[in-house]
Structure formats: structure tokens, C-alpha cells
Amino acid sequence: MNLNEKLDKLAINPCTEEFIPLSEREIERIETKLKAVFPEDYRQFLSTYGECDFQQYAEYSTDDGGIYPGTFFGKNIEQAISEYKERLPVLMIPINEDAANNLICLSLREDDFGAIYFQNHSVGWNDSGDIENSKLKSCFRFADSFSSFICGLEIQ
């Protein structure tokens, strides 16, 4: 099952009356600002859907329980990147926020490009001097790519 088929099966829902995808120009502008590029599967998602959520609760099962995505950022992704940059490692961007204000993030870093992380806002980072490493410890990698994240979701 490909990404779009899985999204259809999960009953993805626009947050407004209709989907408002990002244009290629908007995506490139964000990438230029970040000095990084998005993985192709995430670019496709942004250019097809934009801000959206699921009609029913979806769960990604992990060994530690479940991850329940909320709203995917669309045109407001730049605002989300700016708002959460102090709590996330460099080149890790928020793509979704759950009901408890935890973040689902996409890594744009070279060593784990495209990996998906769960960032628990209640896990603080200490003042040990290595802030970047502390921020990374508040993030849990749970999928190797955006597509594997979406394809791993099940309706509850």
C-alpha cells in the first residue's frame, strides 16, 4: 500500500473546508530558510494535503505504548518551526502535534535524514552545558521515514 492509499484508508481530513496544500515555491522557500531539504515523501504530503488530521483516532504502536498523532502542520509549519525551535535539536522540525502538546518531528539531519521522532514536552533537558544533546534525549525515534510512520498507523 502506498502513502496516498494509506492516507485514504486512514480517512485524512482537511482542517478547513478543503485541503490547502503548499505550493512547490512555498516548500522551497521553507527549505531555503532551513538550509535543508525535505524528504520526497514529506514534500508530496505537503503539496497534496497541507494542514490536516484524521477523522478518527489513529495510533502508531511502539514498545512503550502508542503515539497518537493530532494535526499535521501545513501552511502554519513555519510558525511551528519557529515556535518550537528552542525545544528541538537543530534540523529537527515539528510536523504534527498531539492532543497533549507533544510533537511528532522529522529529522533533516544528515545522520538520520527522514527519520520520525516523538518529542515528549514533559521530558525536560538539563543545564549540563550540552543543550543540543539534552534536547535530543527528549526525542524518541520511532519510524525510519514519513512513509513508514503513516503506513504504521492504525485507526483505533
User: Is there a contact between 70 and 99 (Cβ–Cβ < 8 Å)?
Assistant: yes
Query: pLDDT tens for residues 110-142?
Result: 999 999 999 987 766 555 667 777 788 889 999
User: Is there a contact between 31 and 51 (Cβ–Cβ < 8 Å)?
Assistant: no
CB atoms within 10 A of CB 6: 15
CB atoms within 10 A of CB 45: 25
CATH 3.40.50.300 fits 3-155, yes or no: no
User: What average pLDDT does this structure show over 38-51?
Assistant: 97
Query: pLDDT tens for residues 59-116?
Result: 999 998 899 999 999 999 999 999 999 889 999 999 999 989 999 999 999 999 999 9
Rg from Cα positions in the chain: 15
Domain locations in the chain as residue ranges: 3-155
- Provide the whole-model pTM: 0.93
Helix (H, G, I), strand (E, B) or coil at 31: helix
Tell me what pLDDT residue 121 has.
76
